[in-house]
Amino acid sequence: MQKDKGHSRRKFLKTSAALATMAFLGAQTFANAKEAKMTKTAIPQRKIGDFKVSAIGLGCMGMSANHGPARDKKEMIKLLHKAVDLGYTFFDTAEVYGPHTNEELLGEALKGYKDKIIINTKFGFYYPFGKQQLDSGRKSIMRAVDGSLKRLKRDCIDLYTQHRVD
C-alpha cells in the first residue's frame, strides 16, 4: 500500500469513519471520540475546479434535518469544529435541509474558518406556503442565493449546485 505524505490509507479511513460515526450518532459518540483522544490526520486533497478540498467531505444534512430529529446544536457545532481540526475542508449543505436550519448551523459553526474551508450549498427546492416546490428559474435562484449568503454568514458561495432538475 502506497503512503500519502507519511499517512496510510488505513489511518485516513479510520479517521473518516470515526468522524462519520460522530455525525450519525451525535453527542455521545463525540464524547467517546474525545476520550479516545483522536488526533489530527492529514486528509488527502482533491481539486474541484479552482478549489483544493479534503478527499472526503462532510455531508451535514443529518445534523439538522431528514434523518430523525435535529441533533443538539451545541454538539453539532463541536463536531463541525472537530472536523476542521481533523483536516476536513469540504462541507455540504442545502437551503432545503431544515429547511434553512442546516445552512444556519454551518454559518454559525464555521464562520471563523472562512479561509480554510469550502462549503457547497444547493438550490432548486423551496417552500412557498409551507409546500415543497421545485424551481430553478432565475428569480428563484436569486432568492435562494440571497438567503443562503445570509444563513451561511458569507459574502460569497464557494460551490453552488442545482439540487434537482425541474
Which CATH number covers residue 33?
3.20.20.100
**The cell 435562484 sits on which residue?**
141
- Whether 97 is catalytic is yes
pLDDT, mean of residues 137-159: 96
CA distance 63 to 69: 9
Asked whether residue 146 is domain-assigned, the answer is yes
pLDDT tens digits, one per residue of 6-48:
456 666 666 666 555 555 545 444 444 444 455 555 789 999 9
- Looking at the predicted structure, is the pLDDT value of residue 141 above 90? yes
Cα–Cα separations (whole angstroms), residue 23 to 26, 96, 142, 161: 5, 19, 31, 23
CA distance 63 to 106: 10
Structural domains counted in the chain: 1
Asked whether residue 20 is domain-assigned, the answer is yes
Asked whether residue 64 is domain-assigned, the answer is yes
Domain with 19, as residue range(s), is: 9-162
**The cell 488527502 sits on which residue?**
44
Helix axis angle for 27-35 and 9-25, nearest 10°, is 140
Catalytic residue, chosen from 88, 97, 126, 160, is: 97
